[in-house]
Chain A
Amino acid sequence: MDFSEINIPILIASLIVTATPLILAALGELIAEKSGVLNLGVEGMMIIGAVSGFIIGVETGSALLGIIGSAVGGALLSFLFAFIVLVMKANQVASGLALTIFGLGIAALLGHPYTGIAPPQFQSFSLPLLEDIPIIGVMFFQHDFVVYFSILASIATWYFLKYSRRGLVLRSIGENHDVAHSLGYKVIATRFASILFGGALAGLGGGYLSLVRVPQWTEGMTAGAGWIALALVVFSGWHPFRLILGAYIFGGITILQLNLQAIGVNINIAILSMAPYLATIIALVIISVSRIQGNKGAPGSLGVSFVKVT
């Protein structure tokens, strides 16, 4: 056992890569939930993003178009969900679950001819000058642009929700859609946009998996990442920064436990495998409890269909 064999800068760099799809998917879900829509179809939207991004990437030979395609794919699937729950007023929980099942199936069908193909290479987008800083450069500044985008998107989401007028409207619709409606705000339109945004980000997370992290298409490759993203939203108390923190803790412990195994640490591996889940939940619960006290941050109208009263 030799702890010096663990390469800390690379460990940090890989935890960021591992956490990025989770951050993207969870951030999209956060916006949807803040507007009052519970979309349990994250896993389905992610896998659709993974397959559509991969197909477009392979067909066009451009990883960038592939990444964009994954967001479009995720958004298209979420459009279906938005129509069902907002226009047809269907139950959100059941529709979301159905969306996941549907997404997994259709992705397997679409992706069938694409198993065993290598996608176009993704150029890493090193930040000039910063990437040359020893150690820190490897950790933070030699990633691809999706990683930076996930962080910028989190900051933008936080600013949007906290300081912008539209963000305030979105939150008020999520808290009480009847009141927001009586004040003249467009409940359905806002929620529609939020769901599409959520779908696009979940799709992006999936595309990141199939184009960058693995990178190849295989059936069922999201392997539950969508559910982890959903849990992250709740445990972060609907806060973008705590969400990033949670995703990094999760990614960090995932990578750390692999590293510990590789140097031959004598810890029960079942415990190591479960550690990422446990640690993330414990950390986020502790932070949420101490910060919010009572108000868990859940939007008041979460999961409730809006029916216009005339």
Chain B
Amino acid sequence: MRNLFKLIAIIPLLVFANIGYTADMKVGFIYIGPPGDHGWNYQHDVGRKAVDKAFGDKVETVFQENVPESADAERVMTQMALSGADMIFATSFGYMDPVLNVAKKFPKVKFEHATGYKTADNVSTYSARFYEGRSVIGHVAGKMTKSNKIGYVASFPIPEVVRGINSAYLAAKKANPNVEFKVIWIFTWYDPAKEADAAKTLISQGADVIMQHVDSSAIMTVAEEAGVYAFGQASDMSEFGPNAHLTAIINGWGPYYVKRVKQAMNGTWKGGEQTFDGIKSGMVVIGDMSDKIPDDVKKEAMAIADGIASGSMHSFTGPVNKQDGSPWLKAGETADIGTLLGMNFYVEGIEGDIPK
């Protein structure tokens, strides 16, 4: 049903696309949800607007929201390519195979796929080291919890999310050895009612700091009502929880988008590249810290962020064991990129199983 509606929604795109434009280049974006989510999609749209601003009339950007991770994504991208897009940013993990399929049909169009791992001659991927940000907020969470229980609302058991849980846990544990993580998987990126239910459940079990790896701001609203703390996901969400909001991990896509569009314009863009940037390049930004956080904790948190940016610290530094007690990282050793990108295990101390 919804898909049918989305198909109908594509029609105007088709019409507008044929009117003709004068820009040198046309760049398309597809979003999995509405840019009004104040989270993941919102930040990609901020990145799109940065492209608009940087190139003015030279580049025209178009976008399609609420594109499901299915054959619909292929249809939308095909339509964009047919209507003259020179470059397409597909901004969700599940667009991976659709991107490759469409890229094959349009070898001249440049594709950029967020958070995926498959590339082609005209497909590059980009992702952010969100786990670096999770080290910072994990530290804050460990210091701020009074019940020593931190709730975590997780979406899908993919490496990116598992990495975030592990990174946050290691930082929180270091800040507060008594800390315990409670994880709920809700198998959706965006369902405000489900996210709210999960957060309420965690709070009812005694969690007084809630972390999230889902896209809406529902959890912040629930945390504000219940008088517990939470963190902004992808964007600053303090307007939803002025008292609850501690800080946020903000996704800064703008600089990357501008850089890649510029490369595409002057012919230096290459396919098959895999960008994985973090705090250092500004792809992961730590938001403003709430005045609820004591000054010394603020300083420690910023020191972690600076340390990661300068390379003197790493979110995964040994000794770290896997959940079953088997050794993973020796003392002083840091995780290699391959293990991080395919991470499918919890570190020692986290209870429960990762759903298969």
Tell whether A pairs with B: yes
B221: which of A105, A118, A219, A225 is its contact (CB, 8 Å)? A118
Please give the distance in Å from A211's CB to the nearest CB on chain B: 12
Q: Give every chain B residue within 8 A of A11 (Cβ-Cβ).
A: 204
Residue of A nearest to B198 (CB): A258
- For B231-242 the 0/1 string (1 means CB < 8 A from A) is 000000001100
B204–A216 touching, CB < 8 Å: no
Residue of B nearest to A262 (CB): B182
- For B170-207 the 0/1 string (1 means CB < 8 A from A) is 00000000000011110100111110111011101111
Please give the distance in Å from A289's CB to the nearest CB on chain B: 30
Complex-state Cα separation, A267 to B199, whole angstroms: 20
Q: Give every chain B residue within 8 A of A25 (Cβ-Cβ).
A: none
Is A259 an interface position by the 8 A CB rule? yes
Q: Give every chain A residue within 8 A of B1 (Cβ-Cβ).
A: 97, 100-101, 104
Residue of B nearest to A227 (CB): B1
Q: 8 Å CB contacts to A: which residues of B222-257? A: 239-240
Complex-state Cα separation, A7 to B204, whole angstroms: 6
A258–B192 touching, CB < 8 Å: no
A258: which of B36, B37, B38, B197 is its contact (CB, 8 Å)? B197
B353–A266 touching, CB < 8 Å: yes
Selecting from A83-91, A154-162, A268-276, the interface stretch reads: A268-276
B193–A214 touching, CB < 8 Å: yes
Please name 13 further chain A to chain B contacts, defined as beta carbons within 8 Å, in addition to the given A214-B221, A225-B193, A265-B352, sorted by A numbering.
A100-B1, A104-B2, A104-B5, A115-B36, A116-B38, A118-B239, A214-B193, A214-B218, A216-B217, A262-B201, A262-B205, A269-B187, A269-B355
Q: 30 interchain pairs (CB within 8 A)? A: A5-B206, A14-B204, A97-B1, A105-B9, A112-B36, A115-B38, A116-B217, A118-B239, A209-B193, A214-B196, A214-B218, A216-B216, A218-B192, A218-B216, A218-B218, A219-B33, A221-B193, A223-B191, A223-B194, A254-B197, A255-B197, A258-B197, A261-B184, A262-B201, A262-B202, A262-B205, A264-B183, A268-B355, A268-B356, A269-B187
B interface vs A, CB < 8 Å?
Answer: 1-2, 4-5, 9, 33-34, 36-38, 66, 151, 182-185, 187, 190-194, 196-198, 200-202, 204-207, 216-218, 221, 239-240, 351-353, 355-356
* Interchain residue pairs A-B with the least CB separation, the first 5: A115-B36, A264-B352, A264-B351, A269-B355, A258-B201
